[in-house]
Amino acid sequence: MIELRLVHSLLDKEVFESVTDTLKPSIFSDDNADIVEAIISLHGEFEVIDLDIVHEHLRNKKVSTRSKMALLDEIMNEIRLTEPVGADVAKQFIFNLARKSNRLDALNALAQVIEKNEDSHASVTEILDATDYEESSDKVDTCLGSLLEHYSTSGRVHLSVDALQTGIGGLQRKNVAVYFGRPEVGKSSLLAFDVAGWLKSGIRVDYYANEEPAKKIILNIVRAACNMTDADIAMHIKHGSTIDIWEEIRHNLTVREVGDMDIDMVFARAKKDTPDVVCLDQIDKMTIHGNYNNGADRLKALYERSRTIAKTADCLVCNVSQASAEAEGMIYPPYSMLENSKTGKAGEADIIFGIGKYKDTPNDRQELRGVCVSKNKINGWHGEQGVMFDRHSNQWIARGEDNDYSA
């Protein structure tokens, strides 16, 4: 499906011109390669092209039998039903296709050298030199100062619950954090509380919302940042006064209501906009293209992609997810209770916050919540922390009597 969307996108002159450096028909599957070749040719002849022009061109020049014509018609109809991707997404996908194609070409060439029993170091060297491995890996700085800087707590993104910040020392760029819990326990509210603190520190946050309405997310962040209830905020609006804290930090926040948005569009936007933090709430409901044997494999691929975003766009990624039914009524849910994935989601995370509450927690202004840190690759600290959650002003205040375990 993604190849068909890419082919559809190539009709757009702007998208086409953005990928001409790496675009070759041979990097596409055989069925689509002829179509891409026609698009390349037609862009050289016409200022504007569409699927009808491409279809007619292929029927006149490439199709020799009825069966091939039927296959062409079927593929073209499938392309018509797809939604084109943007230039940034197209550029990334075509780059990846080209790199994969180059590697396969190199492997085939090496296999031929071996098959012919050519004892030629020069042949192998020429093949490897001709293969484009650029950007496939980055050299790591071996300077001791640089290595220690990576593990220093300075420059980290601070957590807003003091007890968690003390134990963990903060999060950092290229990390993937997961906030998960049962419905209505406050996982998005805890993330909003952290986001509010980050905005105050000048950290730029891109927040993708497909669970709660975007305006509700923003209001929750405002409550947390200003320590205000809706009544307090309404009073300011009524009297025509501004809330200084919010006016100072709101430019650091971008919230998008995205539905089932393709995660690769998030990837492209993150590379373009370079935010410090990307929040995906909820990531499980996002779209990712590919063929997966089951839902768990699809979820694993989504979380792998979120790690790619963190590493490539040099940002912190915070994923919000559900807990399975067995976490109902549990105040400290471990990461094994992530919904629909015992290992796939957790394997891609650097740190996991399980948010829970007792089953019969009264609906008071301040309610007890638990935060369980059961996975932590950042500094190894694990712990269970009780927190008083004020849902009206979205404040999360640690209870002093709760303990941590193992460092």
292-342 pLDDT, tens digit each: 878 888 999 999 999 999 999 999 999 999 999 999 999 999 999 999 876
Q: 264 with 6: CB under 8 angstroms?
A: no
Q: What is the CATH number of the domain that holds 110?
A: 1.10.860.10
Residue with tokens 């390669």: 33
Q: Are residues 309 and 255 in the same domain?
A: yes
Return mean pLDDT, the chain.
85
47 has a pLDDT exceeding 70 = yes
Per-residue confidence (pLDDT) for residue 89, from 0 to 100? 76
Find, among 312, 336, 314, the residue nearest to 324 by Cα.
336
Model confidence pTM above 0.75? no
CA 403 → CA 167, 268, 328, 329, 373, distances in Å?
11, 42, 22, 20, 12
254-284 pLDDT, tens digit each: 999 887 788 988 998 999 999 999 999 999 9
237: CB partners within 8 A, 6+ apart: none
Question: Which of 132, 165, 185 finishes a domain?
Answer: 132
Q: Are residues 209 and 350 in the same domain?
A: yes
Q: Are residues 240 and 278 in the same domain?
A: yes
Q: What is the CATH number of the domain that holds 230?
A: 3.40.50.300
Find, among 396, 394, 385, the residue nearest to 166 by Cα.
385
Provide the domain limits for residue 7. 1-132
Question: Which of 106, 132, 158 finishes a domain?
Answer: 132
233 has a pLDDT exceeding 50 = yes
In a domain, 140, yes or no: no
Question: Which of 100, 132, 164 finishes a domain?
Answer: 132
Total domains, the chain: 2
Q: Are residues 60 and 160 in the same domain?
A: no
Binned at pLDDT 50, 70 and 90, residue 135 comes out as very low
Residue with tokens 């998960």: 180
